[in-house]
A and B are shown apart, each in its own frame.
Chain A
Amino acid sequence: MSVQLARLPNDRAPRRAAAAALLMAGLLAFSVPAHTQETAVWAITNARIVPISSPTLEKGTVLIRNGIIEAIGASLSIPGDARILDGAGMTVYPGFIDAFSDVGLEEARPQAAQRPAAAPAAPAWPGAPVQQQPDAEPTEESRGLTPYRQAADMISSTHRKIEPARNAGITTALVAPRSGFFPGQSAVINLSGRAPGQMVVKTPVAYHINMSQARGVGRGYPGSQMGVIAFIKQTLMDARRYEAVWNQYRSTPGVPRPEHSPALEALQAALKRHLPVVIGGDTPVEIERALALAEEWGLNPVIAGGMEAAPLAALLKQRNVPVLLAVKFVERERDGDPEAREELETIKRRVAAPANAAALAKAGVRFAFVSDDMANPRDFIRNVGRAVEAGLDRQAALRALTLTPAEILGIADHFGSIEKNKTANLVLATGDIFASGTRVKYVFVDGQRFEIPEAEAPAERPAAAGAAPPRALDVSGTWNLALTTPQGTMDVTLTVRQEGPSISGTLSSMMGASEIYDGSVAGNRMTFKISFAPQGMGGAVEVVFSGTVEGARISGSASIGEMGSMAFTGTKVPGEQ
């Protein structure tokens, strides 16, 4: 019964639960409120557990009691009251956190009308120009100045985006009002679909400023990018003065009473750095502007978007500015002109997009992934996977979906990892979350289990090429390779981990290391790829290594697209497994 209820689409869950309960009452002559039927104690057993905050348990158990993780371990004794979920073949991750989303938020559009609705005055004489209407006094709201608005007040537990997000493994999200220049303050919510009050995890979390847009909320001022920036700066200047004059008024008799402003009042916590300020920006120019604004006004900035942040990685690191990193990669237009010659910039931007996260990680920039309201939340995790393919360390990617956002959002005491006493937000996937074919099977939010319908699973790819062929070559270990380049021979070290037919590892030289990917062993051939970003190329280039292994020797070639290929030979370092 409870399982069945939990499987219902969440937006209808309460209603259907009630209906089902009534039905039960009629048939069985007893009635139990639906929520009491939730299983309170779960034991997820035999699963591969990726706690993030500690090393992966290849086989272990997670115990959940009343929405809290009670224990995690390799050999836990299962309490008698626990309902067992056999996690064999499954990987357990902390619930994914979408660090900026519009899921669950029912935002009333601020009233944008800037002109009186009244008809224009009649012409003074036939043909006379119509009398100009004076501007209606714009309100704070009509000007997009609503820093006092709280996302927490706008949560809808029946929001249509909650279930698709949760089905993708997203259990928690930062949500913020969007419209206006100072749209309001954000909240972190848990995607349980329970009453709004139960969904809110933390509020307020941050202020938000929309600066990179060339239009206002209405048809009035500001109507350009210049105007938007001027408006934002004037507002911050006003907020500064607001504090000063009210202090003066409070401390000094005889001072005329300043005007009250809810908006300027609300901004004080931002100016005092009590809360961070999330400023949108994707391009280097936008991000530079956001950082300059924060610097000028002493704000504690967080960048949201950051799609092209890589060139500013050093600056972001230096200023210790976290990035809520979007992975909404630009795609080539599918129905576009097949003969169109794309701008190099466009191609570069597209090719560079997946490698952006890796570049930020390399520079040590703190970032958390955000879906940026992608239409399909599954694409969110998939695109994080693409960032991994493009060179982002797998572990770093996972962290940027879990513990790092929890830290940035100030909820790491309760979220972001699988640890005792943390909130029981978990994702059970059929394998490595970034591997193709993997699907999310169960999601726990606040200890409540949601079984993800099979139909929703990605059907594009069969699971990992079916059964593994008879165990082939074991190439695990370290290899010394000599690569013949037009500049001469380059020595490279390859470290390989093999799992069945697939291999992972790193390729390193005196110039640095690259994660290998798409690695496999078939027969006596080993292939893998690396991605690197040569200077002036504007993005990562893929090198495909393919070699024939004979005992401890390998020889083959590394090819770079149509550019050509380089031969390599190598030997395995003995003494290692």
Chain B
Amino acid sequence: MHNLKNVALKRICCALFLAVSACAVRGIAEPSQSGGVTVIKDATVLTVSRGNIAKGSILIRDGKIAEVGPNVAVPAGATVIDAAGKFVMPGIVDPHNHIASDGGTNEGTVAVSSMVSIEETIDPTDINIYRILAGGVTTVHTMHGSANPVGGMNAVIKLRWGKDARGLLFEGAKPTLKFALGENVKRARTPARYPSTRMGTMDVIRDAFIRARGYMREWDDYRKRTAAGDKTALMPRKDRELESIAEVLRGERLAFVHGYRADEMLMAMRLAEEFGFRIRSFEHCLEGYKIANEIAAHGVFPSMLSDWWAYKVEAYEATPYTTALLTRKGATVMVHSDGAEEARHLNQEAAKAIKYGGLNEQEALALVTLNPAKALMIDHRVGSIEPGKDADLVVWSHHPLSIYAVPQTVFVDGQIYFDIEKDLEMRRQMEEERKALEAREQKSAGTPAERRRPPASAASPTNVPRHND
């Protein structure tokens, strides 16, 4: 106790009279700087794309993987991380989650909410960013909910904990749009909302695409007339709702479609074909095994919940074998979390595709790394350990497909954003900080200034609850 006090006192004295830390109020730890050059040495390297290296090293330079192999020369001045006995794999890419966004994941008031964008409500202070990072995840596709046939625009983020909203965005990631089918969409609402059947759901989606085509035509016409020197052409309205759907039609934005039942997913593929685009992914895809051939033929990247079932009627036919089955039938399959807890052990969820259906280890690891990276078209940057890719890496205590594997160190862009030792240190610091603050409050509670009647604080208009629990 005495010691603790002394440490706290030292810390305070160190900081005495220094400027207020910008991060202090936000409570965000700055990532540890590991310098420009780092070498992770002597680990079992699971590259995912190019097999395993039994005793390999990875050279990280300027946030990128510079070299991987059994014999990597350590440049002078490099930070060396001895990972002997440990395992390194690419940072996990979670293709479907809802973290790091505030004020609601659904714009549920309308059937078509393609005007809204998760990117505009990124909340970099969401503690789940850190928690998931500690589970080895480095990239997340954080998505609009499934309340609307045509949902909102999603965001791809890197878990650069401590950075601001813009700093989290995955630069240059292909934009995506959420769609949803089935129970969540047709569920009764107050006030009532069309659609309330799967038929109506298809109708709303078809209508949205027809409107988007009309919108594109309107703009094409305007551009043509303007180019021809026609000064009487009136500029059409830029419409966020139709713009994002038009982008899907033009192939500039990927369609991620929430679907459970085989029939609704099959029909959605047909609808997409009707409008000349491809569905990029079926989210959850629980009955995808029934239409494996069609899924493979259409080129969908099925995005699976590993072994969830029976939580609703449309999940009653789910099986944990679907991931393996779809893989065997030729689809590029991924496993997602759909939640902050599940995201913390996606390595285990991937291992379930070995248990149920017999994928091999490389195939299983790809489910949560390379495959989602491909689906999101960011595989040139992340998803495997290859020279030139981002140094998004996880050092594990055991083979990541083992239940005993615990992430030790997590790199994003070559920076350490989670380290199990530093985490312990941070906890100690937080405890000290709490004690110091509580002591201070205790003390000032005794001063007359504080004894005054406190202001009655009603919720201010600028201070509404920020989190949608």
Contact = CB atoms under 8 A, between A and B. Distances in A.
A–B proximity contact (CB within 8 A): yes
B9 A563 contact: yes
Greatest chain A CB density within 10 A among B118, B166, B194, B457 is at B457
Contact of B14 (A233, A362, A379, A534): A534
Interface stretch (B65-73, B270-278, B344-352, B435-443): B435-443
B354 to A, nearest CB: 38
A561 B440 contact: yes
B17 A511 contact: yes
A539 B191 contact: no
B157 to A, nearest CB: 14
Interface string A374-409: 111001101101100100000000000000000000
Nearest to B466: A283
A227 B232 contact: no
A98 to B, nearest CB: 14
B439 A375 contact: no
B452 interface: yes
B310 interface: no
Greatest chain A CB density within 10 A among B9, B103, B118, B468 is at B103
B187 interface: no
B15 interface: yes
Contacts of B437: 344, 347-348, 351, 537-539
Greatest chain B CB density within 10 A among A214, A461, A540, A542 is at A214
B13 interface: yes
A568 to B, nearest CB: 12
A241 B234 CA distance: 10
Interface string A345-387: 1011111100100010010000000001111100110110110
A93 B374 CA distance: 67
Given A129-B196, A255-B234, A542-B444, A226 B152 contact: yes
Contacts of B18: 511-512, 532-535
B397 interface: no
Interface string B145-183: 000000010000000000011100000000000000000
Interface in B452-469: 452-458, 460-466, 468
Interface string A530-554: 0011111111111000000000000
B17 A541 contact: no
A375 B458 contact: yes
Contacts of A560: 9, 12, 436
A65 B123 CA distance: 55
Given A115-B191, A541-B436, A226 B123 contact: no
B101 to A, nearest CB: 8
A222 B457 CA distance: 27
Contacts of A115: 191
B384 interface: no
B403 interface: no
Contact-residue size bin, chain B (C-beta under 8 Å from the other chain): 35 or more
A228 B152 CA distance: 13
B120 to A, nearest CB: 5
Contacts of A332: 441
Contact of B23 (A216, A227, A311, A562): A311
A283 B26 CA distance: 9
B27 A344 contact: yes
Contacts of B101: 226
A458 B452 contact: yes
A284 B164 contact: yes
Interface in A16-30: none
Interface string B407-441: 00000000000000000000001100111111111
A178 B461 contact: yes
B191 A374 contact: no
Contacts of B433: 344, 348, 536-538
B5 A563 contact: yes
A234 B26 contact: no
A385 B449 contact: yes
Contacts of A33: none
Interface stretch (A40-48, A154-162, A447-455, A485-493): A485-493
A43 B24 CA distance: 50
Given A237-B238, A280-B462, A486-B9, A562 B117 contact: no
Contact of B25 (A214, A308, A314): A308
A285 B124 contact: yes
B312 interface: no
Interface stretch (B35-43, B105-113, B326-334, B356-364): B105-113
A556 to B, nearest CB: 17
Contact of B103 (A214, A347, A461, A542): A214
Greatest chain B CB density within 10 A among A281, A460, A486 is at A486
Interface string A476-504: 00000000011100100000000000000
A347 B232 contact: no
Contacts of A222: 107, 109, 116
Contacts of A375: 455-458
Contact of B235 (A132, A241, A389, A532): A241
A331 interface: yes
B76 interface: no
Given A347-B438, A563-B436, A228 B103 contact: yes
Interface in A74-99: none
Contact of B20 (A329, A355, A511): A355
Given A389-B449, A460-B451, A535 B192 contact: no
Given A223-B107, A226-B118, A237-B238, A532 B17 contact: yes
A256 interface: yes
A190 to B, nearest CB: 24
Contacts of A326: 460, 462
Interface stretch (A6-14, A144-152, A244-252, A414-422): A244-252
A167 interface: no
A458 to B, nearest CB: 7
A120 B240 CA distance: 31
A572 interface: no
Given A220-B109, A305-B462, A537 B15 contact: yes
A168 B454 CA distance: 16
B303 to A, nearest CB: 22
B8 to A, nearest CB: 5
Contact of A226 (B103, B194, B442): B103
A226 B120 contact: yes
A319 to B, nearest CB: 15
Contact of A328 (B109, B235, B240, B455): B455
A252 B26 contact: no
Contact of B5 (A129, A307, A535, A564): A564
B19 interface: yes
Contacts of B27: 344-345, 348, 538
Interface of A: 114-115, 120, 129-130, 132-133, 178, 210, 212-216, 219-231, 233-234, 237-238, 241, 244-245, 248-249, 252-256, 258, 280-286, 288-289, 292, 304-305, 307-308, 310-311, 313-314, 326, 328-332, 334, 344-345, 347-352, 355, 359, 362, 372-376, 379-380, 382-383, 385-386, 389, 436, 458, 460-461, 485-487, 490, 509, 511-512, 514, 518, 532-542, 560-564, 566
Given A212-B462, A282-B460, A311-B26, 4 more contacts: A115-B191, A307-B462, A486-B6, A561-B439
24 contacts: A130-B192, A178-B461, A216-B109, A224-B109, A225-B104, A226-B118, A227-B107, A244-B235, A252-B232, A311-B22, A328-B460, A373-B458, A379-B454, A379-B456, A487-B10, A509-B17, A511-B18, A534-B14, A537-B11, A537-B433, A538-B21, A560-B9, A563-B5, A564-B8
Interface of B: 5-6, 8-27, 101-110, 113, 115-118, 120-121, 123-125, 144, 152, 164-166, 190-194, 196, 231-232, 234-235, 237-240, 429-430, 433-444, 447-449, 451-458, 460-466, 468
Q: Report the 5 A-B pairs with minimum CB-CB distance, sorted nearest first.
A: A225-B103, A534-B15, A224-B104, A561-B439, A379-B455
